[in-house]
Structures are given as C-alpha cells and as structure tokens.
Amino acid sequence: MNTTGLQGKNALVTGSSRGLGKQYALDLARAGANVIIHDISDSSAAEFNEAASGHAVAEEIRQLGVKSAFIAADLADPVQVESLINGAIAELGSLDILVNNAGGDIGLNTPRPDPNDALDISVEDIRSVVERNLLSTMYACKFAGLHMKERRAGKIVNVGSIAGHVPVTSGIIYASAKAGISFYTRSLAEQLRKYDVNVNCISPAPTYTGRFLATRTVGSEEGRSRLQRIAQPEDMSSIVMFLCGSASDALSGETIVCWK
C-alpha cells in the first residue's frame, strides 16, 4: 500500500464510518490526505460492530496527523447531499477527492429486499435500492463535480459492484443500479475531461466486511487460489488508492472490475 503522495489533499468518502469505506478513508489518511467521514448517522458505525461511532472514526483519522470530521447525511435526499459536500468544503477548504462508496442492497425496512428479484420485489424496495446506490452517486457527483470543475482539478471514484457485470437472479435491482454507475462514470468523465477532473469507477469483488459477514453464510475457501477467494478490504482499497493518486492522472472514464 502506498502510504505517501496525497499530502495536503482533501477527501470525502461516503459511507466511511464502517466497512470498505472506512478502509478507504484510513488508507487515504495514511497517504497524507485530510478525510471527511460520512454516514447516514453517527451510530451507523456500530451496526455491525465496526466502530463505536462516526465521530470515533474521525478521531482515529486525526490520530494519523491529518484533519478529519464526521458529517451525517441521508444521501437519498439531494438537499442533504448538497449540505454534505458544502460542509466538507467548509471544513477542509476545498475538495480534491470524492469516493462515492455508500450504498448496498438494502431494503426500505429490511437488511436486504425480500423478495429480491425483478418481479416480486416491492416498489418501495426498488426505490430504496436505486436511491441508495445510483441516485446518491449522481447527487454527490453533481455537487462535488461543480466544485472540481470550477477549480479545474479533482478525482472522483465511484464504487460499483461485480454484480453489475454478470447476470443475476437475486439482487437484480441492486446489480442494475451498479451497472448504471459504470455508464454514468464514463459519461461524467467525458463532461469533465476538459476541466482536468478524473472520474473512474471500481466494481469490487465480494469482500469481507462486518455487513458482508452478518448478511450471508461464508463457506470454506480451502483450496481456492488468491484470485478466487473472497477479498480483504485492503485488496479493494489498493485499487481505490491508485485511482485517487497521481499514477492514474491519465485515466478517466474507466471501470476496474474485480473478478472473483
């Protein structure tokens, strides 16, 4: 993991009080970036025992010698998204990096939609999944992108999913929303290309996080190769770090699909 190269950069990682988002935030901070921590509420971090609170994660970031703060916002509400982006800019002075990590195959009132196909899923769950994944990404990119366009600099990393690149029979709405993020990434990159703003996407493979372990049964991986096993958060974070750093300055509009 590259632990240098982002000194003085200002980053916002959505959904970063837990799971993969927390890993991305920690690694950005270790590389020298100031990082705003976000989640839907301060208590969300404790849902799967991944942290005491969002504010506690921000303090953990500050212990690495960089600036941090926690901001709560419901990303399904564009007014709150705009407030989040403006709050991050006010806190840090500017925004150089946006990682749109928040999302998940989450029902309106259940951990996952049930039923979770294309036909029997409830309309309310369709709306919940699309809002939490595709629309929230579009809102954050809109408000952060306007700031980066004006500054003529910035890196946006959208987080899709391997599910958006293979046919599925469960989680169809989630997979479709994630597939939409890849196309949106390519199109937004074209709009922002002349302003020197990079927009790329990572589609992570199944990865061990608190939510992952709590919502599915993981079988034995004995005999599987490194590229077949369920990923560790560090595996996905190394790719995000590449997309946030100078090594990807000539790359925009691409989706890195992490096949497993």
Alpha carbon of 142 to those of 68, 101, 133, 233, 252: distances in Å? Answer: 23, 15, 14, 27, 17
Of 230, 34, 205, 72, which Cα lies nearest the Cα of 25?
Answer: 34
Question: Average pLDDT for residues 12-37, to the nearest whole number?
Answer: 98
Q: Are strands 34-39 and 197-203 parallel, antiparallel or unpaired?
A: unpaired
Confidence bin at 45 (pLDDT 50/70/90): very high
Among the residue ranges 66-80, 154-168, 187-201, 214-228, the one predicted with the least confidence is 214-228
Q: Between 79 and 213, name the one with better pLDDT.
A: 79
pTM for this prediction = 0.95
Burial 147-179 (b: 16+ CB within 10 A, else e): bbbeeeebbbbbbbbbbbbeebeebbbbbbbbb
Q: For residues 207 and 49, give the distance between their C-alpha atoms in angstroms, rounded to a whole number.
A: 17
Mean pLDDT of the chain: 95
pLDDT score of 1 more than 60: no
Domains parsed from the chain with CATH numbers: 10-257 (3.40.50.720)
Is-catalytic flag, 174? yes
pLDDT of residue 218: 78
pLDDT score of 193 more than 80: yes
Confidence bin at 140 (pLDDT 50/70/90): very high
Q: For residues 149 and 175, give the distance between their C-alpha atoms in angstroms, rounded to a whole number.
A: 30
Q: What values do phi and psi take at 200, rounded to 5? A: -135, 175
pLDDT of residue 73: 98
pLDDT of residue 259: 84
Question: Average pLDDT for residues 151-175, to the nearest whole number?
Answer: 97
Alpha carbon of 3 to those of 7, 27, 46, 151: distances in Å? Answer: 10, 7, 27, 26
The pair of structure tokens assigned to 19 is 């799971």
Helix (H, G, I), strand (E, B) or coil at 255: strand
The pair of structure tokens assigned to 249 is 């300055």
Question: Average pLDDT for residues 5-18, to the nearest whole number?
Answer: 97
Q: Which of 24, 139, 174, 184 is catalytic?
A: 174
Q: For residues 252 and 104, give the distance between their C-alpha atoms in angstroms, rounded to a whole number.
A: 24
Q: What is the largest CA-CA distance in the chain?
A: 52
